[in-house]
């Protein structure tokens, strides 16, 4: 870095700008997420453990810090700060809210603060769509999908599947809230435009047994699906919420993760399985192993993809949004954000 380096300008990017930058770019974002997984697999990232801020007086709530650095073509550092307050849902607002800070690689100065609940949902959905595509690459794509848990993440995952040319004959829905299940079923009926039959299932077993691709997107804190026989038809399972499956279900499946060290902690289903058996031999590999052909999941067992959610994905998508807004001339710079720039005043 030259001695005369000056700090970059600092910008704030709103949720509306994020939405416009990402709208209808499903394939582009999935390709970006795949490239980032490959960069991570090649060791050109830094992705420390997430930090969980929890509250004794609000045990169901938490705020998580995900610091990270991405090399390759992205070249950005930063941190996502995302809260999960489940009681928000009853109050009529989303459970999660987030911001993303991007830092300049040369000076360390923050470049921008972006609204990040959309970025977080987008990278999660793109990761799920990528995994679904590659974990079913050995045969025909599943025609029956089941959504277990029906919030914003489930909607984004459906959008990314549809946006990358998936179609379904049958779409199943199950949620503990009958009202939410029906609301999501109505959304699917509109989104599918009558091309697939949408069913609200009365119980979890019926949903799982009737689906060849199962999406778990709940707020569960402990396992609640405990019978491995429900998965005897060997579906692909996108275990996005990480804590739905009992160790017995996990141990009966082929398990793919985004990052082993990240996924086997914080009492995720896989972490509980590790505690039960005392080793990690039931983890067969990472999504990068599948992308590079080092691992081909077998067809005679259920395949479970459990992504902890890597901060490097948030940074890659966030930098893409920043570059898009900058290129459109719509960057809202905060003048004089950095004020004390003379060492001695």
In a shared domain, residues 319 and 276: no
Q: Is residue 301 part of a domain?
A: yes
Residues in the chain, total: 345
**What domain range includes position 252?**
127-306
Compute the Cα dihedral for 310, 312, 314, 320 and give only its sign.
negative
pLDDT of residue 230: 98
**pLDDT tens sequence across 74-87:** 999 999 999 999 89
In this prediction the pTM is 0.93
Compute the Cα dihedral for 98, 73, 40, 253 and give only its sign.
positive
Q: Is residue 344 part of a domain?
A: no
In a shared domain, residues 198 and 115: no
CA nearest neighbour of 111 among 315, 340, 342, 343 = 315
In a shared domain, residues 155 and 276: yes
Euclidean distance between CA atoms 62 and 265, whole angstroms: 16
Across the beta sheet with 236-239, the strand order is 197-200, 170-174, 144-148, 213-216, 236-239, 303-306, 254-257, 283-286
| Residues of the chain scoring pLDDT < 50 | 1-2
pLDDT of residue 1: 47
In a shared domain, residues 111 and 135: no
In a shared domain, residues 20 and 86: yes
Q: Which CATH number belongs to the domain containing residue 263 in this structure?
A: 3.40.50.720
In a shared domain, residues 97 and 245: no
> What are the CB-based long-range contacts (under 8 Å, 24+) for 5-8?
5/106, 5/107, 6/341, 7/104, 7/107, 7/109, 7/338, 7/341, 8/104, 8/107, 8/109, 8/111
In a shared domain, residues 272 and 186: yes
In a shared domain, residues 137 and 284: yes
In a shared domain, residues 165 and 81: no
State both tokens at 330.
């719509």
Overall number of domains in the chain: 2
Q: Which residues contact 245 (CB under 8 A, 6 or more apart)?
A: 216, 223, 225, 237, 239, 269, 304
Q: Is residue 338 part of a domain?
A: no
pLDDT of residue 194: 76
pLDDT of residue 342: 80
């Amino acid at each position: 870095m030259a001695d005369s380096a000056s700090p970059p300008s600092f910008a704030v990017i709103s949720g509306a700008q994020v939405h416009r930058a990402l709208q209808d770019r499903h394939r582009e974002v999935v390709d970006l997420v795949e490239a980032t997984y490959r960069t991570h697999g090649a060791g050109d990232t830094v992705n420390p453990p997430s930090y969980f801020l929890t509250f004794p007086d609000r045990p169901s709530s938490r705020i998580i810090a995900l610091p990270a650095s991405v090399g390759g073509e992205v070249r950005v550092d930063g941190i996502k700060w995302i809260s999960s307050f489940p009681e928000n849902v009853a109050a009529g607002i989303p459970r999660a809210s987030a911001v993303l800070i991007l830092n300049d690689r040369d000076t360390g100065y923050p470049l921008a603060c972006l609204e990040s609940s959309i970025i977080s949902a987008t990278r999660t959905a793109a990761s799920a769509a990528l995994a679904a595509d590659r974990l079913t690459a050995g045969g025909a794509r599943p025609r029956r999908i089941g959504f277990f848990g029906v919030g914003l993440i489930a909607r984004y995952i459906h959008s990314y599947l549809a946006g990358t040319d998936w179609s379904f004959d049958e779409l199943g829905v199950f949620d503990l809230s009958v009202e939410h299940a029906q609301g999501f079923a109505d959304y699917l009926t509109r989104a599918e435009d009558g091309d697939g039959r949408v069913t609200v299932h009365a119980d979890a077993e019926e949903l799982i047994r009737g689906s060849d691709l199962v999406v778990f997107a709940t707020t569960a804190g402990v396992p609640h699906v405990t019978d491995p026989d429900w998965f005897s038809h060997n579906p692909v399972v996108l275990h996005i919420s990480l804590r739905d499956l009992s160790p017995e279900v996990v141990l009966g499946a082929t398990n793919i993760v985004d990052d082993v060290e990240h996924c086997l902690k914080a009492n995720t289903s896989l972490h509980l399985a590790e505690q039960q058996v005392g080793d990690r031999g039931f983890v067969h590999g990472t999504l990068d192993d599948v992308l590079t052909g080092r691992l081909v999941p077998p067809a005679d067992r259920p395949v479970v993809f459990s992504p902890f959610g890597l901060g490097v994905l948030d940074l890659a998508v966030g930098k893409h949004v920043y570059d898009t807004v900058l290129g459109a001339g719509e960057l809202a710079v905060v003048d004089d954000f950095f004020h004390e720039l003379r060492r001695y005043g």
